[in-house]
Amino acid sequence: MTKQVFETTWGGRPLQVEVGQLAKQANGAVLVRYGETVVLSAVVASKEAKGTDFFPLTINYEEKMYAVGKIPGGFIKREGRPSTDATLTARLIDRPIRPMFAEGFRNEVQVTNTVMSVEQDCSPAMAAMLGSSLALSISDIPFEGPIAGVEVGRVNGEYILNPTVEQHESSDIDLTVAGTSEAINMVESGAQEVTEADMLGALMFGQEAIQELVAFEEEVAASCGKEKMDISLLQVDEDLQKAIYNNYYETMKTAVLTEEKLAREDEIENVKTIVKEAYEEQITALEEEASDHLAQEVNQIAEDLEKDVVRELITIDKIRPDGRKVDEIRALSSEVGLLPRAHGSGLFTRGQTQALSACTLAPLGEHQVIDGLGVEESKRFIHHYNFPKYSVGSTGRAGSPGRREIGHGALGERALSQIIPSEAEFPYTIRLVAEVLESNGSSSQASICAGTLALMDAGVPIKAPVAGIAMGLVSDGEKYTILTDIQGMEDHLGDMDFKVAGTKDGITALQMDIKIQGITEQILREALAQAKQARMEILQQLTSTIAQPKEELSPYAPKIEMMSIDPEKIKDVIGKGGDVINGIIDETSVKIDIDQEGNVSIASSDAEMIKKASGIIKDLTKEIKPGEVYLGKVVRIEKFGAFVNIAKGKDGLVHISQIAKERINKVEDVLHVGDEVLVKVTEIDKQGRINLSRKAMLKDDEKTDDKKDSKSTKE
């Protein structure tokens, strides 16, 4: 294939797609140039279906540090495991693409996006999403796209497509929305307490831009797309399915309506076991390949039976597995102060979902350093999410967090970051860790509620409490039912996971994933309204437990004092090779952080040591002015005069002629090292040297040998 180039504009910036020159052995590959951002997207697929009960799709997003002219940090100096941002971006691309494959497709598909150049105002994540969709569209892989994604911001009430870095800073909405030309199928957003109507407006604004981008992709695919490969979809025998449904539908229905989660799971598994045992003799009588095929069919039909029973109960009978109404929240409870040594802690329980959040406060110097492709270099609010296997009553590998844990942690961080006080208001690095202790649906939103409790228990002056709720959807053609507070089964077997977090005044985070190819504006509007009603109910529960942040910090939290110094004086505090600041730290055992603007943070659990360190820094940075009077200490004697320390790191010279009213022969006739002496600043020369006078402080009738103004260490 010869190289083909396609051009358009996107958000006011040039977009160029190149096909046919690079990665020609992949099933499909495109080079996306968005401004000066360059991403290579390549897709490959196995020729045969995998024997799995799920679609094996993998999306990779590989950040190359040369893209921004950096060498990776650390000893090895090469890219290693994906950064948090890369992991989140891979998930962001996966979510709108996964629903666009046929039910029963089991061929392994791998999409690799390599970020090769980054212009900060032209999002590499959005370029990679476009490239992923285009590479699949022009390949022979049976992708039912294309899809596209855009970023939406809002500045001064005006929606902006793919905002620049500068626009991002002043935007009250940070939205990524993806979908097809007909409907939205993925949403990820943070916002500064915006209304449901404003968020819906942003979504619809994004959908219009998506339609234009999809039309461009369709032109590219029509020009150079390959013929799609023939595939075999995993399908079951209709007669076998009919027989199993006729015999076991009511039994499964009874099992599904068991109210308690673990008991319900046991009952459902019992029904599936009965189904499998009914065909066991028939399965064992067949040859190996046919036997395996029939066993797989029976297993699949048993799974489908559970799914269809649940969906029919919800859409037709409006009955949920645990007996709740469609807009009813499970029982709520909350508590604070469970962990005495943590700086703050909160426990939130909603039905059989429970999260414990612990808050840690630290000096600003403990902020997280970010070594990535973006403009952000550090952050002072961190939210982590852990999901141990015991939370769902199972065993499994315990190790570093996976994509799901990273994603849920980031969602909680996005929701809560909107209400974190500024550094000036609260000069601490803040870390929240959510431990999911029990899970039956929407543990990510429980972690947000627990995080709010922990922050208030820690005394963090948050702007307002935040609560989160997960909404679900079960649709059958034009009929659909929106569910409030979905449990695990409804999430697994339903069509949508729609998470909304916010305060009483508005939305702070929004996330939507769906298993169908898109949802309408009407469904979005209803889901947002239903979620708001639930959020208010949860907020009432949280504030009944702790109405406002505690006025005092935990006795185990570090105390921090902020002060500002002249940036020109920073060198005086640091000293040569850090000797001065290290001396202060050794003397007081405090932690000191200084930024380039001269903001100084002093942290310690001992308030007296903070005061002492603060005094030393004030002395070091004090601006000495002519005419000021100090009680200093003689630190050095020379033939021509005495050096007197008048402040920390500030020595001045009292010339021999300025020691006494009368002429003296030797400095030692009057002064000795260690004497305290009252002096006046007479001059600060161009080199910053301080000249002092003792004589100016003596009364006319005062004799030198009286030494009324000095105290000799030898006396």
Is 503 buried (19+), middle (13-18) or exposed (0-12) by CB count in 10 A?
A: buried
Task: Give pLDDT, residue 668.
Answer: 92
Task: Give pLDDT, residue 1.
Answer: 67
Task: Give pLDDT, residue 715.
Answer: 38
Q: Output b/e per residue, 548-557; b: 16+ Cβ within 10 A.
A: ebbeebbeeb
Task: Give pLDDT, residue 709.
Answer: 47
Cβ pair 653, 690 in contact under 8 A: yes
- Whole-Å CA distances, 83 to 79, 212, 252, 414: 9, 32, 44, 17
| CA gap 4, 602 in Å, rounded | 60
Phi and psi torsions of 444, nearest 5°? -65, -40
Task: Give pLDDT, residue 702.
Answer: 57
Dihedral angle over CA of 392, 393, 398, 400, nearest 10: 10
Q: Report the relative pairing of strands 381-386 and 429-438 from DSSP bridges.
A: parallel
Q: Which residues are 507's β-sheet partners?
A: 194, 502
Task: Give pLDDT, residue 211.
Answer: 96
Task: Give pLDDT, residue 370.
Answer: 82
Q: What pTM did the predictor assign? A: 0.85
Q: Per residue, what are the HEC states of 28-95? A: EEEEEEECCEEEEEEEEEEEEECCCCCCCEEEEEEECHHHHCCCCCCCCCCCCCCCHHHHHHHHHHHH
| CA gap 101, 105 in Å, rounded | 7
Return the number of other C-beta atoms located less than 10 Å from residue 231's C-beta: 18
Q: What is the DSSP letter of 207?
A: H
| CA gap 616, 291 in Å, rounded | 83
Reference 645, options 622, 687, 685, 677; nearest CA is 677
Long-range contacts of the stretch 8-17 (C-beta < 8 A, 24+): 8/216, 10/34, 10/162, 10/213, 11/150, 11/161, 11/162, 11/209, 12/161, 13/121, 13/122, 13/162, 15/216, 17/131, 17/134, 17/220
**Taking the chain (715 residues) in consecutive chunks of 10 residues, what is each chunk's mean pLDDT?**
92 95 96 98 92 88 94 85 93 95 92 97 97 97 95 96 95 96 94 96 96 96 93 83 92 89 90 90 81 84 90 87 91 96 97 96 88 84 95 86 93 97 92 96 95 98 97 86 91 90 97 87 93 97 97 92 89 89 92 90 90 90 89 93 88 93 92 93 90 88 49 42
Is 715 buried (19+), middle (13-18) or exposed (0-12) by CB count in 10 A?
A: exposed
Task: Give pLDDT, residue 712.
Answer: 43
Dihedral angle over CA of 40, 46, 51, 55, nearest 10: 30
Cβ pair 431, 380 in contact under 8 A: no
Task: Give pLDDT, residue 204.
Answer: 96
Dihedral angle over CA of 98, 101, 107, 113, nearest 10: -40
User: H or E segment at 14?
Assistant: strand 13-19
Reference 545, options 386, 323, 690, 344; nearest CA is 344
User: H or E segment at 484?
Assistant: strand 479-484
N-terminal to C-terminal alpha carbon distance within the chain: 99
